[in-house]
Structure 1
Amino acid sequence: MDRVDLLPPHTGDDAAQRDAVSARADACAAAPLLNCLLREVAHPLGNGVHRLSGTDRLLRVRGTRRPADPELFADGAWHRLDHAGLVKLVAEELTRHTGRPNHDLPAEMTDSRDTVAALLAARARATPPDDLYLLSEQSLVTGHPHHPAPKARGGGPTATWLPYAPEAHARFPVTLLGVRADEVAEEGDTTALDTLGAAPPGYRLLPAHPWQLDLAAHRLAPAFADGRLIRLGTTDHPLWPTAAVRTLYTPERDLFLKFSLDVRITNDIRRLWRHDLLKLRRTDAAAADAFAQSRTGAGWLSDRGYRTARFAFEELAVLVRDGFTGRLRPGTTPLLAAALVEGFPGSPLDRLTDPAPWWEAYLRAVVPPALAAFADHGVVLEAHLQNTLVAVDADGTPVQALYRDAEGVKLLADVERAAGWERLVYCLVVNHLAELADALAERHPDFEPWTAVRHELARHDLPEAAALLTAPTLPGKTNLLLRWTGADGADARYRPVPNPLAAR
């Protein structure tokens, strides 16, 4: 199975190696951009040909899950588009389709492609982690399969972000700060932070992501000058960035730390916003209670508390998230669900000869906890690929799901039930199950994955689940239009996409 991290072996011909990296980066960056374009502003005509709704032009691609080799029909012939040409086409199409220009997003598309090239080159030199869980978290070179610029890193020089990139197998110590005690703001259980080092009298310990410190240096300079902040060195061990980039894991303490990062990654500036932090205890408590009462065996990685400085509430916030101890079934290995879709060395999918039993076990692990949280507790998990960990046994068979990210949880007490269900269907079915189903079908062309999904959903006494089996369409999030029109990243908008669950 071809993976994004597999490049031709280095032959000593640096020019050839650069060309190979460049071609691979083009392909990795084009696939999600084409997925967005074809889902949101195109009409399929068959044989890989699509009519673009804004300009009425014809676009042809090869492949379905990861579209490739885009060609535009003009002057009676098909003309191949390189990545730059594809970005230009998308900009023209979206300007016509929406009636408004956008000068930032095309630059992000180019930045995303250049980031992939830098990551591929760095991975060829890096030593990957031995731990299969960490390897899965650091495998997402292509990333979100339906985003126009999934790997953009804010447009800064490569040297500013590459040392902290999970996809480059980074690991690094975090900076330890002392915050004057009267300036500390915190909520929940943050005692784990105090195990990372020691603060002098009158100060509290506050770990900080070194990239965020660089980004916020000008804003924080007065606090360092007047003693509200002091530097205390670094942690005595490296932490590993996970797929979310700003969330780090320390195996030594079995602890996750989530930081603010003033960089746009996919749809949002990844800062820990004050309004999200202030409601976090409520959403996390609701999710934790739902999993504590669940009979599914699934686990919830609780965002147990945050600590920050009052004068830099969002810039210096750090969130403490549970590790695996007491939550992971003994003898199992957690794997990032998104990594199963993208592929990584050691993936259990590589060992499958008959995918049916594995897929049925996977569905039993991930579907019941999400439906039970919704139906029994009014908790809408953001159960997409990047928030789902699947624990596998020694044979690679899924036996448990672990969910995370209280920031993305919605409560039915706050949103209409129909809106909550739509969000769950998008995250769990469209973003998650459909992507993995397609990956399995691509590996095993004779395998039909949706019968098992229908059977799993039918086991649950939930009216919405029953209706889902006959609905003609599912909600597909329009990330390209969201970004082009400048909508808030949390303001999800959907376009109907064909429902593979509907009986044929």
Structure 2
Amino acid sequence: MHRFPSAETEIGDELAALRPGLVSRYARELPGARASVLTRLWRALAHEPLPWITGGERVRDGLVLRLADGRALSGPPADPYATDAYVTAVRLDGTPYDDPARLTTALAVPHGEDFASELAHSVASLALSRAGRPAGGATHPKVWPEADWEWEQRVVDGHPFHPNCRSRPGFSVAEQLAYGPEHRPVVELELLPVPVSECLVSGRWPDGMRDGGRLLIPVHPWQARHVLKRTGEGAGLAARPLMSLRTLALPDGPHVKTALSARLTSSVRDISVGSVAASAALSEFAQVLAARTDGLLHVTRTLGAAAAGSADLAALWRESPRTYAAPGERVLPVAALATTDLPASADWLAGFARLALSVGLRLLELGVALEAHGQNLLVVLSASGAPVRLVYRDLADIRVSPARLARHGITAPGLPARILTDDPVALRRKLFGSLVAGALAGTAGSAAALRRALETAVRDLPDSPDARALREEPWPAKALTLMRLSPGHPGDLWTRLPNPLRSG
């Protein structure tokens, strides 16, 4: 029988009872999962403004960080854009640690105990996700799926830079296997009937999702069991989970975003009543903006949304991104590019960066900063694999500048106040932090590869204050570890990463 420490033990024991055939594969994946999470944590320690790290210095073979209590933390050079698991151990005052949870416990920093528990769960869940991968075949870089949900299932490791890349607190092993997209399940959504008079509806609710005077609201089975305390009510709706887990693809095409009041990675992301109310106006506004990109960007339309009194019972229907792929083309999330061999070509990566930056900066000039990370941003590939267009989904967290819109004669009635800002720093943080330090960096895989791609791409960009900031200033990125260690701070916290275009 295999034995595993801490969260690894719990998941290993549950797995032994449920899927004994996966236990040995799970055990083999644990060292690599620890290294993957430790690499993400080391990046955060080196590059985020953590108050208990007072300084750092490069040494011949790596980096030494000085802690406020006088201790020293040493490890390899910290590439902020690396996605390979290159950190296998770091030393705290000479003692080596290969486990990110044990390292965090030893650091003994405020709120570190809870974070250490999350890291342990992230390691164990990541090993579980990797253990379930099919060998070769469908996951081979040269084998391209046909269905949109198949692309999403190929993204096994989660967020490329967050130490909590696979942390799913509140999910048992059985639930991870039943609902996690990387495990390739079919999820049976429950259809909960709610009187129309009790619902806030935006857009057009699907005709087939009505029962007389009641709406049938799709409910994720985890939400039904753990939050609504209801199970087995109404007919089911079979669907395939996408990268976000709460959003699923239906067999006939549309995607449905369900309420799932669980914290995945960093925060609980419900479908708020406010986002339901604004969904139709946001969707219409996005089509106006997309029309100004010369056909290089499409935004999936929100078909209908409803909330029954709270964020715990809500759903949103959205077009599938494949709506915007012509015959012979494929559309896939940018995060899934790493599962192909396309980014290995410097020319391909430069072409993709040119397309993404041209569209992103054009919209920013007009007044809209997309949250264009690897999950929200999709790329349409020609039959030969060339990037030809972009598709964007999920408008809930964009930022909009009324002043910039007005300069271009664009009106935007009905947009929620929380997404409105004219602050150029806030706008650039949203776009650059998600697209440049997120989607493009995650696709390139290292600072060197990212620099080579961008050096070519930025030469073709129209000059503007935003483009100059991209070329000349440090890049903003969410301080994801600082955020997890700051439970009293409700919003985003940020760091500034080295700009590879300024480093030679």
TM range (shorter): 0.7 to 0.9
Distance 1:91 1:13, change over 3 A: closer
Match of 2:493?
Answer: 493
Match of 2:439?
Answer: 432
Match of 2:32 among 13, 24, 32: 24
- Whole-angstrom CA distance in 2 between matches of 1:45 and 1:212: 48
Match of 2:17?
Answer: none
- Report the AA paired with residue 239 of structure 1: A
**Structure 1 alignment gaps of length 5 or more:** 1-11, 222-229
- Whole-angstrom CA distance in 1 between matches of 2:311 and 2:137: 33
Superposed, 1:115-130 pairs within 5 Å as 115-124=125-134, 130=145
Is residue 150 of structure 2 the alignment partner of residue 135 of structure 1? yes
- Whole-angstrom CA distance in 2 between matches of 1:364 and 1:169: 33
Match of 1:464 among 463, 466, 470: 466
- Whole-angstrom CA distance in 2 between matches of 1:454 and 1:316: 45
- Report the AA paired with residue 365 of structure 1: L
- Whole-angstrom CA distance in 1 between matches of 2:352 and 2:435: 13
After superposition, what is the alpha-carbon deviation per residue over 1:86-130, rounded to whole angstroms, capped at 9, x for unaligned? 3233345471xxxx3344222111111111122223335999695
- Whole-angstrom CA distance in 1 between matches of 2:492 and 2:462: 27
Residue identity over aligned pairs, in percent, reads 24
Match of 1:225?
Answer: none
> SS where residue 154 of structure 1 aligns?
coil
> SS where residue 307 of structure 2 aligns?
strand
* Deviation of the 1:48 alpha carbon: 2.4
Match of 1:37?
Answer: 45
* Deviation of the 1:497 alpha carbon: 1.6
- Whole-angstrom CA distance in 1 between matches of 2:170 and 2:66: 29
* Deviation of the 1:164 alpha carbon: 0.5
Match of 2:319?
Answer: 322
- Report the AA paired with residue 481 of structure 2: L
Is residue 335 of structure 2 the alignment partner of residue 338 of structure 1? yes
Distance 1:420 1:395, change over 3 A: same
- Report the AA paired with residue 256 of structure 2: L
- Report the AA paired with residue 433 of structure 1: L
- Whole-angstrom CA distance in 1 between matches of 2:135 and 2:441: 34
Match of 1:226?
Answer: none
- Whole-angstrom CA distance in 1 between matches of 2:381 and 2:341: 8
* Deviation of the 1:279 alpha carbon: 3.4
* Deviation of the 1:245 alpha carbon: 1.0
Match of 1:212 among 213, 220, 223: 223
Match of 1:415?
Answer: 421
Match of 2:159?
Answer: 144
* Deviation of the 1:14 alpha carbon: 8.0
Note the aligned Cα RMSD (angstroms).
3.0
- Whole-angstrom CA distance in 2 between matches of 1:467 and 1:276: 31
Distance 1:348 1:300, change over 3 A: farther
Match of 2:213 among 183, 202, 205: 202
Match of 1:176?
Answer: 191
- Whole-angstrom CA distance in 2 between matches of 1:176 and 1:385: 30
> SS where residue 407 of structure 1 aligns?
coil
Contact 1:37–1:90 (CA under 8 A) maintained in structure 2: no
After superposition, what is the alpha-carbon deviation per residue over 1:133-160, rounded to whole angstroms, capped at 9, x for unaligned? 4333122322222223121112432113
Distance 1:398 1:48, change over 3 A: same
* Deviation of the 1:34 alpha carbon: 2.3
- Report the AA paired with residue 470 of structure 2: L
- Whole-angstrom CA distance in 1 between matches of 2:323 and 2:33: 40
- Whole-angstrom CA distance in 1 between matches of 2:478 and 2:108: 16
Match of 1:188 among 203, 207, 211: 203
* Deviation of the 1:300 alpha carbon: 0.6
Distance 1:44 1:281, change over 3 A: farther
Distance 1:291 1:487, change over 3 A: farther
> SS where residue 321 of structure 2 aligns?
coil
* Deviation of the 1:16 alpha carbon: 5.5
Superposed, 1:68-467 pairs within 5 Å as 68-74=87-93, 78-83=94-99, 86-93=100-107, 95=109, 100-124=110-134, 130-131=145-146, 133-191=148-206, 194-195=207-208, 199=211, 201-218=212-229, 231-235=233-237, 238-250=238-250, 252-310=251-309, 313-324=310-321, 326-340=323-337, 343-344=338-339, 347-349=340-342, 355-376=345-366, 378-413=367-402, 414-418=420-424, 419-438=426-445, 448-456=452-460, 459-467=461-469
Match of 2:482?
Answer: 481
Aligned residues: 451
Contact 1:264–1:270 (CA under 8 A) maintained in structure 2: yes
* Deviation of the 1:336 alpha carbon: 1.3
Contact 1:102–1:484 (CA under 8 A) maintained in structure 2: yes
- Whole-angstrom CA distance in 2 between matches of 1:58 and 1:325: 47
Match of 1:7?
Answer: none
After superposition, what is the alpha-carbon deviation per residue over 1:393-438, rounded to whole angstroms, capped at 9, x for unaligned? 1221111111111111111132133121232121121112223233
